[in-house]
Amino acid sequence: MQLNDPRRSALAAAALSLLGTVPAVHAQSSDGKSWSFDFATLLYSESDGRVQVVEPKMRAEKGLGNERSFGATATVDVLSGASPNGAAPASKPQTFSSSSGGGGYTIPAYQLPKDPNFKDQRMALELDYSFAPGIGNHVSFDTNVSAESDYTSLGGGGRWSHDFNDGNTTLGLGLNYSNDTVSPKSGAPQPLSQMKPPSGENEGGGEGGGGESEGGEGGGTGDSAGKNKQVLDAMIGVTQLLSPHSLMQLNYSASRSTGYLNDPYKVLSVVDPSATPLSYVYESRPSSRMKQSLYAQYKHFVFDSDVVDFSYRFMTDDWGIKSHTADLSNRWNFGSTQYLEPHLRWYRQNQADFFHAALDQGQETTLPYASADPRLGAFSAYTVGLKYGHQLHNGMSWDIRAEYYTQHGQVTGLPPVAGSALSQFNLAPSLNAAYLTLGFSFK
Amino acid sequence: MTDAIDIVRLPGDGFAGRFRAMASPCEVLVDGADKHELNELTALAARESWRIENRWSRYRKGNIVNRINSAEGRPVEIDEETARVIDFCAQLHVTSEGRFDLTSGVLRRAWRFDADRKLPDAGVIDALLSLIGWHRVDWRNPLLRLQPGMEIDFGGIGKEYAVDRSLVLLSAATDKPVMINYGGDLAANRPRRNGTPWQVGIDSGVPDTATPVIRLTQGGVATSGDTHRHVEAGGQRYGHILDPRTGWPPPAAPRSVTVASGTCVEAGALSTIALLHGAQAEDWLRSQHADFHVVR
């Protein structure tokens, strides 16, 4: 090609001046062996002095070349506040022994009883390794350990995915196993046994005779040996590119938990026909739970850069709970480095078969299972959130996300005799919570 | 944004980074890069392409093009990058003797290259011609003033500019050879590591013609054509590239023109202007000493 025509060279020069003077945007050269770091802190706060959580998290990832990478994630949770203990409100003040083994606490009349001494710290560490053993195949393994004062968890899993159909379809399989131990401070209470009053009388406890029995002020017929729980999760999923602008993912997952599935700090009120509490008994859940869920996600790219993401999950388990989750988010990019992402989520579940707001006298000796844990009750919840992200120079980026969660309980599981008398109380008060997450990452 | 980027393994060897921008499939090839590196480099190219698309899309409220087109005769202050493109297009207007014109987009109101495929009314086109012509525009950098009702449109240059810009950015980010392919508009910074040229099949879109394979070692390649959008009436074919001086497609225009040149924007300008020369497309390209391939 010759470039000696005067008009040609004018055109070539014009094209070069169009491009040549544009400042180049920096980018680090890399050969896939770079380090990357992510830091995030979550602040979670429930209304009415309920649970507060501060959760700093750090992740480091090292690319090892040839699609291999190694990552480590460390998380610390600091929890404090008050958590509903399962007892129903009453027309007189109620006194409970504290789950933390200390003294008791008294709840004013008509209020939903909450244990104010909910306080814990959790530390978790996860290691993962991923590689690509052949064309279109990806494998990753991870192992994790977490510990808090009365709960430890040890787990691991693997995932395999395979791309086919020119990379337009991905099949994924995953398997995860964890082995958890619950060691309540005052021993694990006998299900449906009576919670002992907080004062020194009847200092029984320690029926199971564990070595580190702390006297059982709160523990009733406590069993101070740790209680074990195993969870096995399996997942199979397909991701299909529908068009250059959209993709769809379908997952089926099954999860089986066995062992000690009770919350050792949750009780139920046993009430007389006028809804006056006679005693409090520890909850009792089946020793196995099988959950199955179907998940569908649809992503659509708008203007080739904005992303609309809709997903729906249906979950059902053999405790009688069915839940629905619908989630919608829309990432809107503005400028070349910033985005806003509004987020909406709707959730609804019905109650477990053995959910009871309270028990009539005598039910505690005839029912095999009973729980008043609000998480096993019927409720619906909404989350509204907004995220802002900003890509800085040199591979650094940060984002901030604020979310507001509101949960409305439905009153279910009223006992046959005292049910109408109990209805005078607000058995399922709404819960509001705010989330704030700040994240920062660099390479 | 990386959500919209795909890294696919190519048959044979290596990977391609893919995304969509400017209504086209976009591809980034980096010879010798692994998946992680290619993902980073593709993200860089994609961000730049989406930036350019957002900045000059006619459909984006509040951007510079939208402000210019809704100024109703008032002057609009132009940012530096947009000003450079306007300068370049003003140069093309001279080089093409008025055939390349940033203000020709209003002809879209008369010509609809969609399913119903009807020829426009000649009276409508004549009326629109009063809203077309770079000579009616007052451009004194940084102020641009259009007559009320006039519009500008960077659709004819944006994709080629994104190709060249992406190549500039990726050349600064990696030492490996890079090739950019946005919907058939290409640019490469050097041959592959083994010294051989990049080979790209260009879909001319013309049925029953062989797909030309382009061997590109360095520089840009662009293709203009009417193959995907045209109107047929009375046995005649009317392509979607319109001569702003008449409001009609140039007579006897080639089906497609592919030009290789130093940069993709230059190749794109040459191929578009050649098409607007109609029957004289090849002659004009020869007069420009261009390296070209024409399908008629």
Contact check, Cβ <8 Å, A301/B20:
yes
Q: How many domains does chain B have?
A: 3
Q: What percent of chain B has pLDDT over 90?
A: 42
> Where residue B289 sits, what CATH number does that domain have?
3.10.520.10
| Mutation target among A2, A3, A17, A19 for the B interface, most CBs of B within 10 A | A19
A115 forms bridges with which residues in the sheet? Answer: A83
Question: Can you list the positions of beta strands (E) in A260-321?
Answer: 267-271, 277-282, 288-302, 306-317
What whole-number distance in Å separates Cα of residue A376 and Cα of residue A356? 9
Question: Which among B53, B92, B265 has the least Cβ separation from residue A304?
Answer: B53
Within 8 A of B22 by CB-CB distance, chain A residues are 304
Q: How many cross-chain Cβ pairs, A to B, lie less than 8 Å apart?
A: 159
- pLDDT score of A339 more than 50: yes
B68 inside domain:
yes
Within 8 A of B165 by CB-CB distance, chain A residues are 19, 22
Q: B53 and B77: one domain?
A: no
Task: Give the B window 20-79 contacts with A, CB below 8 Å.
Answer: 20-23, 25, 33-37, 40-41, 44, 46-48, 50-51, 53-54, 57, 59-60
B133 inside domain:
yes
The domain segmentation of chain A, as residue ranges, is: 59-442
Closest alpha carbon within chain B to A337 = B47
Helices B264-276 and B158-173: angle between axes, nearest 10 degrees: 160
> pLDDT band at B2, cuts 50/70/90?
very low
Q: B244 and B205: one domain?
A: yes
- Torsion sign (Cα): A27, A28, A33, A39: negative
Contacts of B73 (CB under 8 A, 6+ apart): B145, B146, B147, B148
Domain closes at, from B145, B178, B205: B145
User: For residue A205, what pLDDT is reported?
Assistant: 39
Q: B138 and B108: one domain?
A: yes
Least Cα separation, residue B126 to chain A (angstroms): 31
Q: B110 and B71: one domain?
A: yes
Q: B73 and B54: one domain?
A: no
What whole-number distance in Å separates Cα of residue B141 and Cα of residue A232? 68
Q: B73 and B53: one domain?
A: no
Q: B281 and B229: one domain?
A: yes
B154 inside domain:
no
How do beta strands A267-271 and A359-360 pair? parallel
User: For residue A229, what pLDDT is reported?
Assistant: 96
- pLDDT score of A219 more than 70: no
**Residue B175 burial (C-beta neighbours within 10 Å; 0-12, 13-18, 19+):** exposed
**Residue B14 burial (C-beta neighbours within 10 Å; 0-12, 13-18, 19+):** middle
Contacts of B237 (CB under 8 A, 6+ apart): B226, B230, B231
Q: Please provide the average confidence, as pLDDT, over all residues in chain B.
A: 86
Element (H, E) at B127: helix B122-129
DSSP A192: T
Element (H, E) at A171: strand A169-182
B153 inside domain:
no
**Residue A438 burial (C-beta neighbours within 10 Å; 0-12, 13-18, 19+):** middle
Within 8 A of B174 by CB-CB distance, chain A residues are 29
- pLDDT score of B276 more than 60: yes
Complex confidence, ipTM? 0.76
Within 8 A of B35 by CB-CB distance, chain A residues are 32, 67, 132
Cα A80 from chain centroid?
17
CB A390 within 8 A of CB A438: no
User: For residue B282, what pLDDT is reported?
Assistant: 95
Q: Mean of the pLDDT values across residues B109-118?
A: 69
User: For residue A15, what pLDDT is reported?
Assistant: 79
Question: Which among A8, A244, A333 has the least Cβ separation from residue B289?
Answer: A8
Closest alpha carbon within chain A to B260 = A1
> How many Cβ atoms are within 10 Å of A259's Cβ, its own excluded?
16
What whole-number distance in Å separates Cα of residue A178 and Cα of residue A155? 4
Q: B185 and B50: one domain?
A: yes
Q: B102 and B36: one domain?
A: no
User: For residue A27, what pLDDT is reported?
Assistant: 34
- In CATH terms, A59-442 corresponds, of 3.40.50.300, 1.10.760.10, 2.40.160.40, 3.90.850.10, to 2.40.160.40
pLDDT tens, position by position, B87-103: 999 999 998 999 999 99
Selected residue with higher pLDDT from B114 and B275: B275
Range of the domain at B287: 197-296
pLDDT tens, position by position, B12-57: 678 899 999 988 899 999 998 988 899 999 999 999 999 999 899 8
> pLDDT band at A224, cuts 50/70/90?
low
> Where residue B124 sits, what CATH number does that domain have?
1.10.3980.10
> pLDDT band at A104, cuts 50/70/90?
confident
User: For residue B227, what pLDDT is reported?
Assistant: 59
Give the pTM. 0.58
Selected residue with higher pLDDT from A311 and B251: A311
Within 8 A of A337 by CB-CB distance, chain B residues are 47
User: For residue A338, what pLDDT is reported?
Assistant: 85
What whole-number distance in Å separates Cα of residue B141 and Cα of residue A14? 16
Question: Which among A12, A19, A67 has the least Cβ separation from residue B35?
Answer: A67
DSSP string, B138-202: EEETTEEEPPTT-----TTTHHHHHHHHHHHHHHHH-SS-EEEEETTEEEESS--TTSPPEEEE-
CB A110 within 8 A of CB A94: no
Q: Please provide the average confidence, as pLDDT, over all residues in chain A.
A: 85
Q: Could you tell me the CA-to-CA distances from B116 to A58, B113, B229, B241 in Å, in that order?
A: 58, 8, 12, 18
Q: What percent of chain A has pLDDT over 90?
A: 61
Q: B30 and B78: one domain?
A: no
- pLDDT score of B283 more than 70: yes
- pLDDT score of B66 more than 60: yes
User: For residue B114, what pLDDT is reported?
Assistant: 64
User: For residue B23, what pLDDT is reported?
Assistant: 85
> pLDDT band at A337, cuts 50/70/90?
confident
Closest alpha carbon within chain A to B163 = A19
Contact check, Cβ <8 Å, A18/B50:
no
> How many Cβ atoms are within 10 Å of B156's Cβ, its own excluded?
19
- pLDDT score of A152 more than 90: yes
Within 8 A of A28 by CB-CB distance, chain B residues are 173
User: For residue A215, what pLDDT is reported?
Assistant: 39
B241 inside domain:
yes
Q: B19 and B112: one domain?
A: no
- pLDDT score of A131 more than 60: yes
B152 inside domain:
no
pLDDT tens, position by position, A31-82: 456 788 889 999 999 988 889 999 999 999 887 876 788 999 999 999 998 9
What whole-number distance in Å separates Cα of residue A386 and Cα of residue A20? 39
User: For residue B178, what pLDDT is reported?
Assistant: 95
B5 inside domain:
yes
What whole-number distance in Å separates Cα of residue A246 and Cα of residue A298? 7
pLDDT tens, position by position, B164-202: 999 999 998 998 999 999 988 999 998 888 888 888 876
pLDDT tens, position by position, A157-203: 999 988 887 667 889 999 999 999 999 878 889 999 998 877 654 44
> pLDDT band at B233, cuts 50/70/90?
low
User: For residue B29, what pLDDT is reported?
Assistant: 94
> pLDDT band at B72, cuts 50/70/90?
confident
User: For residue A336, what pLDDT is reported?
Assistant: 63
**CA angle, A405 then A410 then A415, to 5°:** 145
> pLDDT band at A242, cuts 50/70/90?
confident
